[in-house]
Structure formats: structure tokens, C-alpha cells
Amino acid sequence: MGNIRITKQFNFETGHALYGYDGKCRNVHGHSYKLSVTVIGTPITDTSHVKLGMVIDFGDLKKIVKEEIVDVFDHATVFNKNTPHVELAKELEDRGHKVILADYQPTSECMVIDFAAKIKARLPENIQLHSLKLQETETSFAEWFAADN
């Protein structure tokens, strides 16, 4: 049996601000993100295996992405920890808000790289991360492909 790609989609709401940016996105704002996670592998052929015919159980993939990405980023505000936004982040945290201080500028491009590393670290040995697509608006998205990296 050959390799098969399967994809699971996720949605989450996240705020961010791009420090030093020359446009509107320097202001704190949010997006309704859509994340598509595609993995590749060979379907299980062992007829005694409970997951016969699956590359990976969609529920198992969901658990990984939910724990690593969705539960962490949903309804959080992300700031680059190396900017003066840390003062705003501290103020928000003191008021009970969910804040993430990232090691990067929280663009879709940098977020998708971060997400790829987190998901790859949790996948079973026989499953490879093929690609991610992080859509921040209906017409704007960033993609990560294993083949490019």
C-alpha cells in the first residue's frame, strides 16, 4: 500500500500585534484562524489492528493539535517577547487575560513555523508532517511544507 495524505482542519481565535510594523497590524487586533494539518503515512494493513486502514486516527491527530496549538492559542493574545509589548502583556496578564510571549514576531509565517515544530515533535514515528496551512483571513494565509524544509 502506498503513502496517503490526510488533513484535519482546526479553528481558533487569537489576537496579536506586530511591533515595529508600518501598517495597521501594529495595533492589537485579532483573527479567526483556520489551520489545516496534513500528515502522510501508510495505512495500517494489520487485520487485527483496531485502526486497520488508517494512516492515523483523526481523533489522535486532533488531540495532538488541540493540546499543542488550539488550546494554547485560542483566545490568547500573542506578542513578540523581545519588544516593548512585554509591558502591555504584563498589564493584560495582571487583569486575567491569556497572553503568549513568543520568541518571534507573531506573523502567520512565523506562527506556522512554530506550529510545525510542535506538531512534528508529537507525531508517531511512522507518520510525517506533510504541510500546514494557516489562514488568518479569507484571502490571506501562510503555508509550510516539509519538502521545503
Examine the residue annotation and report whether 110 is marked as an active-site residue of this protein.
no
29 is in an annotated binding site: yes
97 is in an annotated binding site: no
What's at 9, amino acid-wise? Q
Examine the residue annotation and report whether 85 is marked as an active-site residue of this protein.
no
Q: Residues near 118 by Cβ (< 8 Å), separated by ≥ 6?
A: 68, 69
- Nearest Cα neighbor of 130 from 117, 144, 141 is 144
Q: Which residue among the candidates 25, 109, 110, 143 is catalytic per the annotation?
A: 25
85 is in an annotated binding site: no
Q: Which residue among the candidates 68, 85, 130, 136 is catalytic per the annotation?
A: 136
Examine the residue annotation and report whether 25 is marked as an active-site residue of this protein.
yes
Q: Which residue among the candidates 49, 75, 93, 97 is catalytic per the annotation?
A: 75
Q: Residues near 5 by Cβ (< 8 Å), separated by ≥ 6?
A: 38, 39, 40, 55, 130
**Catalytic residue list:** 25, 75, 136
Binding site for Zn(2+): residue ranges?
16, 29, 31
Binding site: residue ranges?
16, 29, 31
